Amino acid sequence: MKAWKAFLLVPILVAGCAHGFDRAALQERLTDGSLQVSDAAITEARSMKPQLKLPCRVAYYLNPAGRGDWRWTPDDRAVLEPLAAALVKDGIAADVFPLPEMLTGEKPNFKDLRVAAAKCGADVLLVINGAAQTDSYKNPASMLYLTIVGGYVVPGSHVDALFLMEGCLFDVDNGYVYAGTQAEGEGKIIRPTFLIEEKDAISRAKTQAVARFSEELLTRMRTLAGNAHK
């Protein structure tokens, strides 16, 4: 093979390699990296006792904390509606509703959320966190991006997105944790480089994650209700 031909193959081979996701970093972002607790906090946690009576009133809070690459949307809340309806139908919840933003403020802490939930008459508080990560790369067709037209018509660019969700169900009065749930979703798009945006891949991944999260949480709450009736 002539040297100039080999030289042209280099960007093709490099462009076609995806790097994958750094799940450890994404998990740390999901939990804000705060894992340290004191002995006093452990003692206090052990003193908490479950006091849930069914059906209960459930308030939920979609934590908006992120890096600006995604946000919760009305469609995400709509995906949670079947979950709320199922909980009411099963007699687990008397009502399921989002915490009003005017009560939570921009950056509420856990105590602020519990106070807001108490003001709304909720028995339990569901706090939901999310975190997204993307991986962008090119395929061999991206060599046609040497022309401006190619950048608009050739699907040579990829964006893969991973979205993680985590939710905890707390007792409003004493902070006791009744259940914890995690779910993830992946979204992939292939488009011309001038027409591709990370937010579209993240949106697909988030929609998948929210649906899976709802299913898993419903299962856990049904188990919780079954144990409460024993």
Q: What is the pLDDT of residues 148-161, one digit of tens each?
A: 655 565 666 778 89
In one-letter notation, the amino acid at residue 61 is Y
Question: Which CATH superfamily includes the segment(s) 21-30+48-228?
Answer: Lipoprotein like domain (3.30.160.150)
pLDDT of 1: 42
Tokens, residue 64: 């908006």
* pLDDT above 90 (res 67): no
What confidence tier does 49 reach under pLDDT thresholds 50, 70, 90?
A: low
H or E element in which residue 113 lies: helix 110-119
pLDDT exceeds 60 at position 163: yes
pLDDT digits (tens, 9 = 90+) for 11-32: 433 344 456 777 666 666 666 5
If you count them, how many residues does the chain have? 230
Residue 52: predicted pLDDT: 80
Peptide bond into 55 cis (omega under 30): yes
198 or 116, greater pLDDT: 116
Which candidate, 210, 191, 193, 190, places its Cα nearest to that of 70? 210
Q: Over the stretch 175-205, which tens digit does the pLDDT of each residue have? A: 899 989 999 999 998 777 666 588 888 999 9
